[in-house]
Structure 1
Amino acid sequence: MKQKILLCSDLDRTLLPNGHQAESPQARLRLQRLAQRPGIILAYVSGRHKALIQSAIREYDLPLPDFAIGDVGTTIYQITDNQWHPWEDWSKEISQDWQGINQAGLAKLFADITPLRLQEPEKQNRYKLSYYAPPELDWENLIPQLAQRLQAQGIQASFIWSVDETAQIGLLDILPKRANKLHAIRFLMERQHFDKSHTVFAGDSGNDLEVLASGLQAILVRNAQEEVRQEALRRLPPEHSQQLYLARGGFMGLNGYYSAGVLEGLAHFFPETRAWMETGREESAEEETAQSCAIYRSCKKNDSYLYVESQDDFSRVPGKLLEMLGKLEFVMRLELRPEISLAQANIREVMQMLREKGYFLQLSSREYRRS
């Protein structure tokens, strides 16, 4: 069996088109197609907390990931059947660095530093202390002063400085030394048995620099600021010069910004993925083929229908999904063709999901979930 690819990507201004540059209209659609492939394991790596990651997924119609590294690397979730399960082993891994002191205790050590303003409570957690600051802050001199105060308490910490160019505000995150995006990705790689040759990271900003210059295969999207681009190249050791790809646009007619840059870089490191992003003749021919299915109505969840390939065969349907639906009542057998219409679903989407996953769930809200 061919080794799967672990695609780790930042969200804001990497996959999310929430910067100043224009998004290629087809980019996120191609990302959706890619994420449906069984050969791709998708992990979001973000400074956002769980609720904000979920909000971004809904707002921008992003594919549901297999994993989410949140809060600038201080949390890891595994997502199965739309349930988010925190990895307690990761919390134990990083807790040693703060000597039992939480973020509120650490904040007292910096109460006299006026340029720093605490971020909202929901943006803090047990192992993440976050501040706003003026974007022009002399952080290169300030951070060593903060580190000295922590070291006097025996606390090992890392500092991540970045600038939100859209809001024009500086962001400073103070984390346990081991709690960072790079260590979290490597922890995920180890636990899921991915090596460097089958892992790739995509990012855009200063808080991605450690990963971009780490020697992991990495992508810097085209909309990254020039200072970030130059700093990534400066930090990159000569022996890892082939491990960083700078998106430049032109790939598949896309402009290289946001998810277009992620796709471009992924195809650079894994050329076989290009075919997974496009509708080629072979796939079009496959879609034109008639496909039979059996449709069941959920007796537990109103106006919800489950499509499976064969009548009374639920072997490819996740157990938790079957539990959620409860007793299923057979409705009909149906031959699906691209030219017919369904009242509550896209026919091609249904056919594709049946081929790739073995089932399709139609919900009353016109939303459907993938697993």
Structure 2
Amino acid sequence: MENLLPYAPALPNPRALATDLDGTLIPLPETETHQADLLSLKQLLEKNRIPLVFATGRHLASIITAIDAFSLPIPDCIIADVGTTIYERTEKGWAPIISYAHHLAASLDGVSLLEIEQLFQKYDALTLQSFENQSRFKLSYECSQDSTFELAKHLQLELDSIAAPYAITASLAPFATHGLIDVLPRSASKASALRWWAQQMGWDFGSLLFAGDSGNDLAALTSGFRSILVANADPELVEQVKASHQIAGWNDRLYIAKQSATSGVLEGCRWFGVI
């Protein structure tokens, strides 16, 4: 696998890092190098005053647990629930950005996720995830690992057939044997949430560097941000992302790290001149 596309970055250095958590920023089990590189990354982000955004499928309580459990750096912004909720840090803790919720609600034409849940009840292959993994704009299921992507295609066709304002996102659960299927507003993804946040900050999209490893990172990895694919990324995802960049004519926006997870994020940040 090539380490990088053939030209060094010609765009200005990114000014903020956005990263997935599981399989990306969070150290992999029993990997001391990742722990050391996480500390280095924390120190370098702080030293260079680089804003940090978490963009993850986790819900807020799970993110806070992960910050404590893995000694993660405290982010400036949290994009949770696969891009359907954005939290800002306040004196009283993390608070959802209400204007973003209004932005998503306006795109749904009154069609609720309850209607979609009822539509999908006929699929025995789908199992609803626990209550804490559901949210106002996200309906989450588990399914067998082998059927994940084929089932996701079928579900998307069903949504399209009724012109539902929702889209399917599929990925494989890290360190597990099942697949994850999320139903999100068509206007929602990690990519669209990052674009919305950057616009609120008065930044152009070239200001952001995104790191990811799995299917629910695809939109962000192919939206024009500078991107890092860590070495443990799904090989099919790697090929999809490379093809998308090549079609778009981007030869300076993708770095495929030699190292996995945390160490790959640090490696990519150095490549793009963020730290």
Q: Deviations over 1:266-295 (max 9, x none)?
A: 111116x1xxxxxxxxxxxxxxxxxxxxxx
Q: Deviations over 1:282-310 (max 9, x none)?
A: xxxxxxxxxxxxxxxxxxxxxxxxxxxxx
Distance change >3 Å, CA 98–CA 58, structure 1 → 2: same
Q: Structure 2: how far apart are the matches of 1:38 and 1:165?
A: 31
Match of 2:217 among 202, 208, 216: 208
Residue of structure 2 equivalent to 1:96 = 106
Distance change >3 Å, CA 45–CA 165, structure 1 → 2: closer
Residue of structure 1 equivalent to 2:192 = 183
Distance change >3 Å, CA 217–CA 106, structure 1 → 2: same
Counterpart check, 1:128 vs 2:131: no
Contact 1:161 1:206 in 2 (8 A): yes
Q: Structure 2: how far apart are the matches of 1:165 and 1:196?
A: 28
Give the fraction of aligned pairs with identical amino acids, expressed as a percent.
34
1:234-249 mapped onto 2 (5 Å cutoff)? 234-238=243-247, 239-248=249-258
Q: Structure 1: how far apart are the matches of 2:225 and 2:190?
A: 12
With normalisation by structure 2, the TM-score equals: 0.88
Matched letter for residue 261 of structure 2: Y
Q: Structure 2: how far apart are the matches of 1:6 and 1:185?
A: 11
Distance change >3 Å, CA 237–CA 116, structure 1 → 2: same
Counterpart check, 1:163 vs 2:172: yes
Higher relative contact order (CA 8 A, sep 6+): 2
Residue of structure 2 equivalent to 1:76 = 86
Q: Structure 2: how far apart are the matches of 1:113 and 1:178?
A: 25
Matched letter for residue 144 of structure 2: P
1:1-371 mapped onto 2 (5 Å cutoff)? 5-18=15-28, 23-37=33-47, 39-81=49-91, 83-137=93-147, 139-140=149-150, 142-151=151-160, 153-238=162-247, 239-248=249-258, 256-270=259-273, 273=275
Query: Which structure is higher in helix share?
Result: 2
Contact 2:169 2:183 in 1 (8 A): yes
Q: Structure 2: how far apart are the matches of 1:177 and 1:120?
A: 23
Give the drift of 1:51: 0.3
Structure 2 stretches lacking a partner, 5+ long: 1-11
Contact 1:13 1:19 in 2 (8 A): no
Distance change >3 Å, CA 190–CA 72, structure 1 → 2: same
Q: Structure 2: how far apart are the matches of 1:39 and 1:123?
A: 32
SS of the equivalent of 1:215 reads coil
Give the drift of 1:179: 0.9
How many residue pairs get aligned? The number is 263
Give the drift of 1:39: 2.6
Distance change >3 Å, CA 228–CA 144, structure 1 → 2: closer
Structure 1 stretches lacking a partner, 5+ long: 249-255, 274-371
Matched letter for residue 185 of structure 1: L
Q: Structure 2: how far apart are the matches of 1:178 and 1:122?
A: 22
Distance change >3 Å, CA 139–CA 44, structure 1 → 2: same
Residue of structure 1 equivalent to 2:7 = none
Q: Deviations over 1:151-172 (max 9, x none)?
A: 4554211211111241111000
Q: Structure 2: how far apart are the matches of 1:82 and 1:34?
A: 27
Give the drift of 1:196: 3.2
Distance change >3 Å, CA 105–CA 169, structure 1 → 2: same
Q: Structure 1: how far apart are the matches of 2:156 and 2:214?
A: 22
Give the drift of 1:85: 1.7
Give the drift of 1:146: 2.5
SS of the equivalent of 2:210 reads strand
With normalisation by structure 1, the TM-score equals: 0.66
Q: Structure 1: how far apart are the matches of 2:102 and 2:213?
A: 29
Q: Structure 1: how far apart are the matches of 2:119 and 2:29?
A: 34
Give the drift of 1:26: 1.4
Give the drift of 1:138: 5.8
Give the drift of 1:94: 1.2
Contact 1:6 1:194 in 2 (8 A): no
Matched letter for residue 243 of structure 2: R
CA RMSD, aligned part only? Answer: 2.2
Contact 1:162 1:170 in 2 (8 A): yes
Matched letter for residue 255 of structure 2: Y
SS of the equivalent of 1:109 reads helix
